Amino acid sequence: MKFIHAADLHVDSPLRGLDSYDGAPVERLRGATRQSLIALVELAIEQRVALVILAGDIYDGNWADFRTGLFFRDQMLRLRRAGILVFIVKGNHDAESQITKQLPEVDGVHVFSSVKSETFDLEDLGVAVHGRSFPHRAVPEDLVPQYPPPVLGRFNIGVLHTSLTGRDGHDPYAPTSVDVLVDKGYDYFALGHVHAREVVRESDPRIVFPGNLQGRYAKETGPKGCELITIEGGIITAADFVPLDVVRWHLLRLDASGLASVDALARRFLAQAQEMVADARDRLHAVRLLVHGESSLHRLEAEQPGSIAAAIQAATQDMDGVDVWIEQVRLDLRSPLDRAAAAERADAVGEVVRLVDAIGADEADLKAWFAAQLGDMRALPGGLADADPNLLEVNAMRALLADAEATVLAQLSDIDTEGGVQ
């Protein structure tokens, strides 16, 4: 007997702010959550699984209209026509209080109660599935102590949307511990809520966050998919992660140290990018790139802003047979400058270097200086919140300061060439 465990589908997640990216493959990105669910259904049918377990956050919140619900319902009907049972717990994003629109139920698609824990005893399969849905978005208590005891003679699966003891970037909902899960006496805990895949415990019981089915932005990187579990004689004989994402997000660091031309930079990027996409050439790869290191390209970028991003974009055009979209290029470059010698100069170059060194010498002073420069800047729209300079980390502040220094030094160098600065 086989079953699939997935979570955090976030079907039709709005992906705010995409329209602000010039050339973004908007439709492919916005359709990715649907396409990954279609891929899950096709995998279930192909593998002839008996059960599909969805551990919460099927939706991103209340539907904008009925199309989201109708799409999901249609996929559930495909599973049922193939004889596959479906078990769902609702999480914080699709809790009972969150989804107000209703559609007719699908027979054989079981949504756990949000009032109490329930057990579905599947005698023919030798499996019992236990779970409880969230009644509200925020569930501060541990739900596991109220889960039913294991059914004797069955492979017992607990379905739970939880943060466990806490995970970075995730609200602490339905907190519990591994010890509490172990003491329950189940064979498998199908968890949801955490978007990074994590095998919390290998066996007795096996406890897994499968991660979300489809990465939605640059912080949700790497392969995304589901767990495919095989049970024989009440024992797990195979446990495989199956990637189902149609868009794969990457954070790529590109060291530009020693590079003197955009051609050299493009070649180095191509080498890394080809390795990055080698095992998944059929997907759209969305890349946030950090170009770092000590390079004379720092001066080129200062003189001609956008040169590096354009070179990277051009390099993607040379990647035959694979789709790569550069979501963003961030720079952390330094000029090959002898700062000690430059700071000793009695001209404008020395003054600039000394000023930058003074601003960046103390972290608190650096933050205060940035705050003063930003002044009364208005808050950015929600879709651009990730670019809010008020939220910059210290390393990002230092990088911006270095960029500003390079721009000024480049201008001073041009004046010097013309004989205007000595």
Question: Could you give all domains of the chain from N- to C-terminal order, each with its CATH number?
Answer: 2-243 (3.60.21.10), 246-336 (no CATH), 338-422 (no CATH)
Structure tokens at 375: 């002044």
Place of tokens 């024989």: 232
**Tens digit of each residue's pLDDT (9 = 90 or more) over 12-39:** 987 766 666 777 888 899 899 999 999 9
- State the pLDDT at residue 9: 94
**Tens digit of each residue's pLDDT (9 = 90 or more) over 270-312:** 999 999 999 999 999 999 999 999 898 988 998 899 999 999 9
Output 143 or 421, whichever has higher pLDDT.
143
Is the predicted pLDDT of residue 416 greater than 80, yes or no?
no
Is the predicted pLDDT of residue 54 greater than 90, yes or no?
yes
Contact 394, 367 (CB under 8 A): yes
Output 396 or 173, whichever has higher pLDDT.
173
- State which amino acid sits at residue 110: H
Is the predicted pLDDT of residue 188 greater than 80, yes or no?
yes
- State the pLDDT at residue 419: 40
CB atoms within 10 A of CB 260: 13
**Tens digit of each residue's pLDDT (9 = 90 or more) over 359-377:** 888 888 888 888 888 776 6
Find the length of the chain. Answer: 422
What mean pLDDT is predicted for residues 129-152? 93
Cα 195 to Cα 27: distance, rounded to the nearest angstrom: 23
* End-to-end Cα spacing for the chain: 81
Percent of the residues in the chain that have a pLDDT greater than 70, as a whole number:
92
Output 389 or 89, whichever has higher pLDDT.
89
